[in-house]
Chains A and B, each alone.
Chain A
Amino acid sequence: MTLKVENLSTHFFTRDGVAKAVDGVSFEVGRGEILGLVGESGSGKSITGFSIIGLVDPPGRVTGGKILFQGQDLVGRPAGEMRALRGKKIAMIFQDPMMTLNPVLSIETQMVETVRAHDRVSKADARARAIEALGLVGIPSPEERLAAYPHQFSGGMRQRVAIAIALLHRPDLIIADEPTTALDVTIQSQILAVIQRLSGEFGMSLLWISHDLGVVAGLAHRIAVMYAGRIVETGTVDEVLDRPVHPYTIGLMRSVPANLDRGEPLTPIPGMAPPPLRRPGGCPFRLRCFAATEICETEPAESQAAGHRWRCFHPQTARAA
């Protein structure tokens, strides 16, 4: 088991109150496994990723739970140890490739510094590793491109560079925070193919954070659906997408046109995800849920059938979307 998150809570202590962005989340990612963490914006999926890598900005902080990475708890680790782990054992790729690379530093600087942050190697050796990594992600003539600056690359190419940086130390876990959302579909599929190939090749575990069920369906082994800071349903891709149990998962799938028969009207989930400071008690989805009853005002416990787990009083059994 590469990563085991138990009951993780990350809260933001703002002037208006405590925002429970992540509120008791548990999941596991096995070695070489790809877990898709799916949810709307504001569901806490990105904060979950930042909690694992130890980069939650104040006023937020991890308030409870465990993050077991290769058996060792990362919560409360000293800053120096976390820094040594970041980029080396756990890497992260961000959503907007236009913003992830420093505009005033060359690709070479940004790659060489990453190598030398963890390994005592000469500049020439670090450079050679950078060139190799750029080649791996499919950047043509990597040696020449090394001297270039981020603005000389397209969005897709920049995301490849970011992935190459993440791969420099062959990490055991990559946290990918919607890395294809900002890209065109054709570029998106190229990037997905690169990641799929490399994660298989190197046996890296991947936590793939996305709001796009279609992408996750094609890439991930297992799915965790997140809503209002909690995981409401989790299981293998087949379990969750073919036999969804939670009304929210069903709603999400009905919001994707590709899942419907031609001509069938879309049935979007009404309303918006509640902001973290104004979440209803009980099941946080009950105000938007088609199946909600009085009992939903109390907290639903987790139920499970084999590996398939969910938190709902009204599981929609045998009801494929």
Chain B
Amino acid sequence: MLTKIAGGDIIDPANGRIGKGDLWISDEAIAEAPAGGEADRTFDASGCIVMAGAIDIHSHIGGGNVNTARLLLPEQHAAHMPRPAATPLSNAGWSTFETGCLYARMGFTTVVEPAMSPYAALHTHLELADIPIIDKATLAILGNDDFLLSMMRDNASPAMIEDYVAWTVASTRALGVKVINAGAAAAFKENVRTFALDDVVPSYGVSSRNIVKILQAAVDRLGIPHPLHVHCNNLGAAGSADTAAATIAAADGLPLHLAHLQFYGYGTEGRRKFSSAAARLAELVNATPEVTIDIGQVMFGRTVTVSSDVMRQFSARGTANPKKFVIHDGDGNGGGIVPYRYRPDYYGTTQWAVGLELFLLIDDPWRVFFTTDHPNGAPFTVYPQLFKLLMSRDSRNEMAAGLSKSALGLSTLASIDREYTFEEIAIMTRAAPAKLLGLADRGHLGAGAVADVAVYRQDKDITKMLGRAALVFKNGDLVVKDGEITHYRWGSALRLDPPPEGAMVRRLEDFHQQRYGLSLDWFTFPDTAITREKPFGEVPCRSR
């Protein structure tokens, strides 16, 4: 089928195409304009902006910890809408089905679940397979697991560590690797309560820095397109900017991605010894081209923090609102679920301002990524409001007027005039994420790309405009019209498939038999365990 999206303002920075024109789709892919060809169907996009489908690189949308958060908080997602006829289960509050629908309505077509515990990979992929419309991907967590730490303690060769990383990525069907407070979960099991970059994990004799560096190098040498995704130590602590600065410096010329940098943007100035250090961190990021970051913006209201940083979540349990939490000592990281309410007080204002400062002071939109660390900083449903704050200085000032003046007094936010353009938004949410993740087939509107397209009717109200897309196509299939889901289709989970090395598989079999009394197949699964027609999509590694 040949589809024509006619007369829209096309914003495709990856291909340098900015301006009014037509976009052609042939079946599931973007196509060149056919010579004299007639479209089978035409959509009038005059008065609309046309962009590739958006990509979210860090949003906790499925897996054990996310599901435990749902279980912990039935009162926060009680559904209240009658069921839309054509979209089964889509009004089930905070469910997999609702997740896919809400993302698609905003023009997002690919979302990465950034914290998959390897032993819960099947559970995670089953949840992701029940998220309709969008494509998904996962990052496998390493860095607190006994197998890796033992290899490091025993001075295993880099090749052996690469084999283990490759096996983990392949067997869990992941798109990359994440390390979360490297070594801290292992240390917490030994009753250690704080853990910094150069602290050493008891019993293993390896530091957090060692773990990050070893994994960073392994990911790079394996040709995994996405750099090691790092959740640093000391999340949320006053003075954590020092930790983030030290981690940025540790990149040392190799690619490194720092997750939700906002949660580390805190200095120790002011009466409360808690202040914005965003300007300092932005300067460091600007000066370190091998580093990319996502923000983890805080917005005000009730949410729940869901993290595999079990040590941090344990220390935050006293802030639970309502007063209930789950702490899980897992194989490897485990995790913690602590409901939380961001208030527009001194601390909340500081966090809000830090995120915006980082967005606005980091110069290169190819290296800063749009996230709220859903649901940790805020649910992803606040994205339209956040776009508005980035694109309008007046909106920021209007909101700041109702917030803590003493917090803003220690921030540079009021002095920043920058307003994001649509082109920068398209880079940050489309072109750059595709590049960062190694997804050459999306994030742009060039011929041959997957026809993931979002069309927004222009409106002075950015929240309204970007909150309900006029049209969304997924693989060329119209799935959203006038902000409403038309029907389901089932996307895939994008995965790498580095070939596992036989000796490593045998070694892991022995390890699981000896340490857990179970064979390795208790922890692995065939593709057929996911009962969708095409559960996985293949993404190539960089050639080595």
Is this pair of chains taken from one and the same complex? Answer: no
